[in-house]
Structure 1
């Protein structure tokens, strides 16, 4: 596999600003095409990166002819791997379809917002024997990835505290990501919760119990118990006041107090690192720590928290 032919599914701001430039720039990748639910957006993004456009139905599941799922099947047939920049519950069934077609998976977090949806993708990838990776950003940014590995190896931690407080919906902000219906519906628990969990689990161990409390408009507090016996907490929101927004991750233990580096770097470069990690997993057959099974576990934890918050 001298070059990986990789397709992009999705045409929104994240795809336009991060996924497409990273795929186009990667030296070991051939950009095999763009599929989108809006034909005009797929055409524009594909033209910007000198590749072919495919289009689909407006709901991500329908359509026919040159667009729709016929168009998607044509793109899958011309690809070795697929990168996803779609809402999670649109992403999940299409990822299962891509796996069944023999394509490796580079998915966004969360894999899905339901456990059955995430499990279906994980099972499809396992049946097909394809490599998979979930793009948890700080696990592929060099400084933060190294920090997580170092703290996991060091051990001796007494507790951890994380906060991921975005101002996406604060008064006066103008973010292109604020137009995302799934983010508005699911809030910080599902959008930034995976960031916190992606660092907590490798350092402190899997979660054995979670308690969730929410205050309006969108501030969720999690208290987590880990297999190591350590407890941790996380505060998650997309509706923080602008001056109160920010991220942080702190560990306290036998060796003192350490904090996650704040400089994550350029998202395009970080996504390029994720592409390289998928290439390695595809070539060696060795699963990556952030594979779709890890993504399923994140969904299970977040779904447990959501059930406590909503009673359903």
Structure 2
């Protein structure tokens, strides 16, 4: 169980069950002449040991959220708990300890992950030097094996492909045994085949190491590979794309006599997320179909018998 802090960092009991809990999270960037609201009341829960993705277009707020989860930026308001700790109460010392011990980060840009003149195994050893860990070489070799790169342990950056570099970056992020692994567009600079290999590594690490994995990307096709994908739009949680329980799975759970193969098809559905005040964001394609724009007035009707809500364009 994660450490629970008292006094000003006190954590409610139900927070212990979540790796991440954001409530009405706000981030505002200010300069002398302009104020930009990057997150405006975002709500998000991530279970311990979950693998999930966050998607959104440029400017949606997903990178801002990732930076705050990684301890690289501070929230302006709201609530943000990670592993039972309240990040809004963190001192600079708390943030340093958090980044060293709780969270691992994989960047899209390999230049931020790797030191080019070091070998793969030396790169993986580097974070362990900060904690004076023993068995550094043994641990580094174990991690390279987990990402399928034992044969590249003595290779430098310029001797590896982009996909191999990214796998070394994953091993580096795991060097200090974090409970939360964050990945920023980890498949953004590789081809589809390599992308699938990297995603399979995340899934295997999530399964075997029980580590919580959050992948941030602009690619909604990740929904085909991950059970839960949260979409962010305009600084708020817009919808969730979740894996449906298929008929094939239900048949297979009835017994081990006959196993039925899934023939594919659409196994995900998109669910609109209500915030804690009951507000929601309509999917963009719905708004385009109804010819609704932001600021337009719409009529909402409730069918109490069928328990359905109907939306009509006013006028």
User: What's the TM-score, normalizing by structure 2?
Assistant: 0.31
Select the structure of larger CA radius of gyration: 2
Q: TM-score, normalised by structure 1?
A: 0.31
